[in-house]
A and B are shown apart, each in its own frame.
Chain A
Amino acid sequence: SAVISQKPSRDICQRGTSLTIQCQVDSQVTMMFWYRQQPGQSLTLIATANQGSEATYESGFVIDKFPISRPNLTFSTLTVSNMSPEDSSIYLCSVVMDISQETQYFGPGTRLLVL
Protein backbone atom coordinates (compact mmCIF):
# COMPACT_ATOMS: atom_id res chain seq x y z
CA SER A 1 0.00 0.00 0.00
CA ALA A 2 0.94 3.66 -0.25
CA VAL A 3 1.13 6.27 2.49
CA ILE A 4 -0.07 9.58 1.15
CA SER A 5 0.25 12.91 2.90
CA GLN A 6 -1.31 16.20 1.92
CA LYS A 7 -0.49 19.74 2.93
CA PRO A 8 -2.24 21.74 4.14
CA SER A 9 -4.83 19.56 5.85
CA ARG A 10 -7.25 22.46 5.91
CA ASP A 11 -7.33 26.14 5.10
CA ILE A 12 -9.63 29.12 5.08
CA CYS A 13 -9.00 31.45 2.17
CA GLN A 14 -10.33 34.72 0.85
CA ARG A 15 -12.13 35.07 -2.42
CA GLY A 16 -9.82 35.82 -5.35
CA THR A 17 -6.71 34.24 -3.84
CA SER A 18 -5.00 30.98 -4.82
CA LEU A 19 -3.99 27.94 -2.78
CA THR A 20 -1.50 25.25 -3.67
CA ILE A 21 -2.04 21.79 -2.21
CA GLN A 22 0.85 19.35 -2.01
CA CYS A 23 0.65 15.58 -2.23
CA GLN A 24 3.58 13.41 -1.18
CA VAL A 25 3.70 9.62 -1.48
CA ASP A 26 6.13 7.41 0.41
CA SER A 27 6.99 5.35 -2.68
CA GLN A 28 7.03 5.72 -6.44
CA VAL A 29 3.62 5.35 -8.03
CA THR A 30 2.42 4.87 -11.56
CA MET A 31 -0.55 7.22 -11.55
CA MET A 32 -1.62 10.24 -9.52
CA PHE A 33 -5.02 11.87 -9.54
CA TRP A 34 -6.78 14.84 -7.99
CA TYR A 35 -10.41 14.66 -6.89
CA ARG A 36 -12.88 17.14 -5.48
CA GLN A 37 -15.55 16.24 -2.96
CA GLN A 38 -18.08 18.97 -2.47
CA PRO A 39 -19.98 19.03 0.82
CA GLY A 40 -22.18 15.96 1.20
CA GLN A 41 -21.41 14.71 -2.28
CA SER A 42 -19.43 12.01 -4.01
CA LEU A 43 -16.00 12.37 -5.55
CA THR A 44 -15.39 14.06 -8.87
CA LEU A 45 -12.17 13.50 -10.77
CA ILE A 46 -10.47 16.79 -11.62
CA ALA A 47 -7.46 15.52 -13.52
CA THR A 48 -4.77 12.92 -13.91
CA ALA A 49 -1.34 14.29 -13.03
CA ASN A 50 1.23 13.22 -15.62
CA GLN A 51 4.88 13.17 -14.78
CA GLY A 52 6.82 15.71 -16.79
CA SER A 53 3.90 16.78 -18.95
CA GLU A 54 0.60 18.59 -18.76
CA ALA A 55 -2.15 17.04 -16.68
CA THR A 56 -5.17 15.43 -18.33
CA TYR A 57 -8.30 17.29 -17.25
CA GLU A 58 -11.83 15.99 -17.02
CA SER A 59 -14.75 17.73 -18.59
CA GLY A 60 -15.59 20.89 -16.69
CA PHE A 61 -12.10 21.44 -15.30
CA VAL A 62 -9.46 23.63 -16.94
CA ILE A 63 -5.77 24.19 -16.44
CA ASP A 64 -6.11 27.92 -15.79
CA LYS A 65 -8.32 27.24 -12.79
CA PHE A 66 -6.62 24.08 -11.51
CA PRO A 67 -2.97 24.02 -12.59
CA ILE A 68 -1.27 20.76 -11.65
CA SER A 69 2.35 19.76 -11.50
CA ARG A 70 3.99 16.37 -11.14
CA PRO A 71 7.76 16.70 -11.24
CA ASN A 72 8.49 13.11 -10.21
CA LEU A 73 6.92 9.77 -9.30
CA THR A 74 6.18 10.65 -5.66
CA PHE A 75 4.98 14.28 -5.63
CA SER A 76 2.26 16.43 -7.13
CA THR A 77 0.65 19.80 -6.53
CA LEU A 78 -2.80 21.14 -7.27
CA THR A 79 -3.44 24.88 -7.28
CA VAL A 80 -6.94 26.25 -6.90
CA SER A 81 -6.76 29.66 -8.59
CA ASN A 82 -8.84 32.79 -8.18
CA MET A 83 -11.00 31.08 -5.60
CA SER A 84 -14.68 31.66 -5.02
CA PRO A 85 -16.98 30.22 -2.32
CA GLU A 86 -18.05 27.54 -4.82
CA ASP A 87 -14.53 26.10 -4.58
CA SER A 88 -15.11 25.18 -0.93
CA SER A 89 -14.56 21.43 -0.97
CA ILE A 90 -12.33 18.63 0.11
CA TYR A 91 -9.52 18.06 -2.38
CA LEU A 92 -8.07 14.57 -2.42
CA CYS A 93 -4.91 13.22 -3.92
CA SER A 94 -5.08 9.63 -5.07
CA VAL A 95 -2.58 7.15 -6.47
CA VAL A 96 -2.32 3.84 -8.23
CA MET A 97 0.95 2.19 -7.40
CA ASP A 98 1.08 -0.22 -10.27
CA ILE A 99 -1.31 -0.74 -13.16
CA SER A 100 -1.50 -4.45 -12.47
CA GLN A 101 -2.66 -3.90 -8.89
CA GLU A 102 -5.67 -1.74 -9.78
CA THR A 103 -6.23 -0.63 -6.19
CA GLN A 104 -6.38 3.13 -5.80
CA TYR A 105 -5.33 4.81 -2.56
CA PHE A 106 -6.43 8.17 -1.26
CA GLY A 107 -4.78 10.83 0.79
CA PRO A 108 -6.47 12.31 3.88
CA GLY A 109 -7.72 15.30 1.91
CA THR A 110 -7.40 19.06 2.16
CA ARG A 111 -10.46 20.83 3.51
CA LEU A 112 -10.81 24.21 1.86
CA LEU A 113 -13.24 26.93 2.88
CA VAL A 114 -13.42 30.04 0.74
CA LEU A 115 -15.01 33.11 2.26
Chain B
Amino acid sequence: GNSVTQMEGPVTLSEEAFLTINCTYTATGYPSLFWYVQYPGEGLQLLLKATKADDKGSNKGFEATYRKETTSFHLEKGSVQVSDSAVYFCALRAWGSTASKLTFGTGTRLQVTL
Protein backbone atom coordinates (compact mmCIF):
# COMPACT_ATOMS: atom_id res chain seq x y z
CA GLY B 1 0.00 0.00 0.00
CA ASN B 2 0.88 3.67 0.06
CA SER B 3 2.86 5.15 2.91
CA VAL B 4 4.79 8.26 3.86
CA THR B 5 7.73 8.34 6.27
CA GLN B 6 8.88 11.61 7.81
CA MET B 7 11.80 12.38 10.03
CA GLU B 8 10.80 12.49 13.65
CA GLY B 9 10.68 15.74 15.50
CA PRO B 10 10.72 17.98 17.20
CA VAL B 11 13.27 19.91 15.19
CA THR B 12 14.65 22.95 16.99
CA LEU B 13 16.54 25.59 15.02
CA SER B 14 17.77 29.09 15.58
CA GLU B 15 16.34 31.84 13.41
CA GLU B 16 18.06 32.09 10.00
CA ALA B 17 19.24 28.48 10.14
CA PHE B 18 18.84 26.10 7.19
CA LEU B 19 15.95 23.67 7.40
CA THR B 20 15.60 20.19 5.98
CA ILE B 21 12.71 17.88 6.84
CA ASN B 22 13.07 14.50 5.21
CA CYS B 23 10.17 12.71 3.59
CA THR B 24 10.21 9.42 1.70
CA TYR B 25 7.29 7.54 0.26
CA THR B 26 6.10 4.19 -1.01
CA ALA B 27 3.37 4.18 -3.61
CA THR B 28 2.04 2.29 -6.57
CA GLY B 29 1.93 4.26 -9.77
CA TYR B 30 2.95 7.88 -9.92
CA PRO B 31 1.73 9.82 -6.92
CA SER B 32 1.35 13.53 -6.43
CA LEU B 33 3.24 14.82 -3.41
CA PHE B 34 2.34 17.56 -0.96
CA TRP B 35 3.60 19.42 2.07
CA TYR B 36 1.00 20.77 4.45
CA VAL B 37 1.67 23.06 7.43
CA GLN B 38 -0.35 23.32 10.63
CA TYR B 39 0.28 26.41 12.72
CA PRO B 40 -0.57 26.26 16.43
CA GLY B 41 -4.31 26.09 16.97
CA GLU B 42 -5.15 26.06 13.27
CA GLY B 43 -6.13 23.63 10.54
CA LEU B 44 -3.91 22.39 7.72
CA GLN B 45 -2.76 24.66 4.94
CA LEU B 46 -1.27 23.48 1.69
CA LEU B 47 2.33 24.69 1.57
CA LEU B 48 3.48 23.30 -1.76
CA LYS B 49 3.01 20.40 -4.13
CA ALA B 50 4.59 18.54 -7.03
CA THR B 51 2.73 16.28 -9.40
CA LYS B 52 5.46 14.55 -11.39
CA ALA B 53 9.07 13.50 -11.17
CA ASP B 54 11.66 16.32 -11.03
CA ASP B 55 8.99 18.94 -10.36
CA LYS B 56 9.95 21.46 -7.70
CA GLY B 57 7.23 22.92 -5.53
CA SER B 58 7.91 26.21 -3.79
CA ASN B 59 6.10 28.69 -1.59
CA LYS B 60 7.04 31.21 1.14
CA GLY B 61 10.73 30.35 0.75
CA PHE B 62 10.12 26.62 1.17
CA GLU B 63 11.07 24.18 -1.59
CA ALA B 64 10.75 20.48 -2.23
CA THR B 65 11.78 18.45 -5.29
CA TYR B 66 9.98 15.27 -6.39
CA ARG B 67 12.76 12.66 -6.64
CA LYS B 68 11.45 9.47 -8.19
CA GLU B 69 14.80 7.68 -8.07
CA THR B 70 15.05 8.07 -4.31
CA THR B 71 11.26 8.24 -3.68
CA SER B 72 11.78 11.39 -1.68
CA PHE B 73 10.24 14.84 -1.31
CA HIS B 74 12.39 16.61 1.28
CA LEU B 75 11.30 20.05 2.49
CA GLU B 76 13.95 22.78 2.63
CA LYS B 77 14.19 26.43 3.55
CA GLY B 78 17.34 28.49 3.45
CA SER B 79 16.61 30.74 6.43
CA VAL B 80 13.85 29.95 8.89
CA GLN B 81 11.95 32.48 10.93
CA VAL B 82 10.22 32.22 14.29
CA SER B 83 6.91 32.44 12.41
CA ASP B 84 7.73 29.14 10.66
CA SER B 85 7.24 27.27 13.93
CA ALA B 86 4.55 24.73 13.12
CA VAL B 87 3.93 21.07 12.36
CA TYR B 88 4.76 20.01 8.81
CA PHE B 89 3.05 17.05 7.15
CA CYS B 90 4.24 15.29 4.03
CA ALA B 91 1.49 13.59 2.05
CA LEU B 92 0.84 11.76 -1.19
CA ARG B 93 -2.13 11.05 -3.36
CA ALA B 94 -1.96 8.02 -5.66
CA TRP B 95 -5.01 7.79 -7.87
CA GLY B 96 -6.09 4.27 -8.65
CA SER B 97 -7.71 1.43 -6.74
CA THR B 98 -7.66 3.47 -3.54
CA ALA B 99 -9.17 6.31 -5.47
CA SER B 100 -8.60 9.71 -4.02
CA LYS B 101 -7.13 8.96 -0.61
CA LEU B 102 -4.53 11.36 0.71
CA THR B 103 -1.94 9.52 2.79
CA PHE B 104 -0.14 11.56 5.47
CA GLY B 105 3.13 11.16 7.27
CA THR B 106 3.21 11.47 11.03
CA GLY B 107 4.18 15.14 10.97
CA THR B 108 7.34 16.92 12.07
CA ARG B 109 7.17 19.69 14.63
CA LEU B 110 9.51 22.62 13.94
CA GLN B 111 10.41 25.07 16.68
CA VAL B 112 12.40 28.14 15.69
CA THR B 113 14.00 30.22 18.41
CA LEU B 114 15.58 33.67 18.43
Contact = CB atoms under 8 A, between A and B. Distances in A.
A41 B104 CA distance: 11
A109 B101 contact: no
A94 B93 CA distance: 14
A104 interface: yes
Interface in A55-108: 90, 92, 94, 96, 99, 102-108
Interface residues of A, number: 20
Contacts of A13: none
Nearest to A110: B43
B101 A103 contact: no
Contact of B105 (A33, A42, A90, A103): A42
Interface stretch (B14-22, B45-53, B60-68): B45-53
Interface in B47-101: 49, 51, 89, 93, 100-101
A9 to B, nearest CB: 10
B102 A104 contact: yes
A107 B36 CA distance: 13
A43 interface: yes
A30 B61 CA distance: 31
B54 to A, nearest CB: 17
Contacts of B34: 103-104
A107 B43 contact: yes
A45 interface: yes
A113 to B, nearest CB: 14
Nearest to A30: B100
Contact of B51 (A92, A99, A102): A102
B46 A103 contact: yes
Given A45-B101, A45-B102, A92-B44, 5 more contacts: A41-B106, A102-B49, A103-B34, A104-B93, A106-B43
User: Lowest 7 CB-CB distances: which A-B pairs, in order?
Assistant: A106-B44, A108-B43, A109-B43, A42-B106, A42-B104, A106-B43, A43-B104
